[in-house]
Amino acid sequence: MIGELVGPVFIYLQKPTGRLGPRIQRSIYHANNIYVTCSKSGKLTKSHIQYWAEKVLRPSVADDCLLLLDSWSAQTDPSIYDKIFTGNIKCEKLQIPPKTTGDIQPLDRYFFRQWKYFKQRICDRIAIDRMDIDITSRNSILKMNSLIQNQLTARKFSPMIKYSWHSSGYLQNDPSQFENVQEDHELADHLFLLFDQLLNSTELLVDNIVTLDFDYYNDDDDEYQGEDNNEDLTSIDGVTNSYDTMCSIIEYSKTHTFLSLRNRYKNIKSKEQLRRMKRYVDSQGTKVQKLRCIDEFVYAEFIRARESSLSVHDSDVRRLALKKHAA
């Protein structure tokens, strides 16, 4: 209830053999904040709860504790905990009544939504950027959940975790205003950068994170400069045309003689002038035209993402624009 996560995450995998063989154990991702095991069905049983209590719960407790349990019968047997909590450390059990988990279970009430948002943000980012990453692979799943748990231990999320207890009725004092995961899109993007680094790693070890800083301006800033309305006009050999007009001239020249072109466009004086214009058009024109190309790309990607029911934020739009600019 003090706003901290206790112990590693217990992750349960499904394996047809019901065990992690030597080869898998060597290749599987290891981190000290996750504990991984498996079964044939992928479903928990009483024996698995006993295993969790012995391997995860007991090593995480150094003093008397209160264990909050829902009404699932496999985990409510007091003998499971009496066998491992011997000596001076006591474990009191408090059982949540049936059909009330969504109302008074702190994880279901609020915390799991924040965890799932991190997960969904990573999956959305992979889909938006069309990255060649198999998010369903065993190690990707383990790395993602290990990283999410690691990030949620940050002190900034302590009030959010306390609110999970408060909203469930266990804490009287409201932790007041706090920032949850869904409100911090920048943090979610940083999490993905970490996840991308972890994909080729074998352990959770983060030394440094590099992020991009963006400068924001508005019309009230002293340094803000509005767009030049004439920026779309370009002079070639003393003749000024818009980019669209030059495109029309080049297209016309492909199917007509130069004499016919001069009769139609009086400002075209020589074939050399036409060649310079063509080179200019081929290089995609002015900065405005390049920005227009970026805008069209970002808009198309935005529509694709929305049609795929992906969440798109301002940071995604900026990243797509930078990606197109660097291409």
The structural domains of the chain, with segments of one domain joined by +, span 100-211, 233-282
pTM of the model: 0.62
Q: Is the pLDDT of residue 135 over 70?
A: yes
pLDDT at 107: 87
pLDDT at 87: 82
pLDDT at 58: 92
- 49's CB contacts (< 8 A; 6+ apart) are 74, 75, 80
pLDDT at 276: 87
Q: Is the pLDDT of residue 211 over 50?
A: no
Residues in the chain: 327
Handedness of CA 139, 141, 57, 159 (dihedral sign): positive
- 87's CB contacts (< 8 A; 6+ apart) are none
* Beta-sheet pairing, 239-242 with 233-236: antiparallel
Q: Is the pLDDT of residue 73 over 60?
A: yes
User: Rounded to an integer, what distance in angstroms lies between the CA atom of residue 11 and that of residue 107?
Assistant: 16
Q: Is 163 exposed, middle or buried (0-12, 13-18, 19+ CB in 10 A)?
A: buried
pLDDT at 222: 45
Looking up tokens 């993402």, which residue turns up?
305
Q: Are 189 and 214 in contact (CB under 8 A)?
A: no
pLDDT at 241: 84
Looking up tokens 């008397």, which residue turns up?
64
Q: Is the pLDDT of residue 149 over 70?
A: yes
Q: Is the pLDDT of residue 206 over 50?
A: no
pLDDT at 230: 47
Average pLDDT in the 136-155 region? 88
pLDDT at 212: 36
Q: Tell me: the pLDDT tens digits for 84-100?
A: 988 888 889 989 999 88
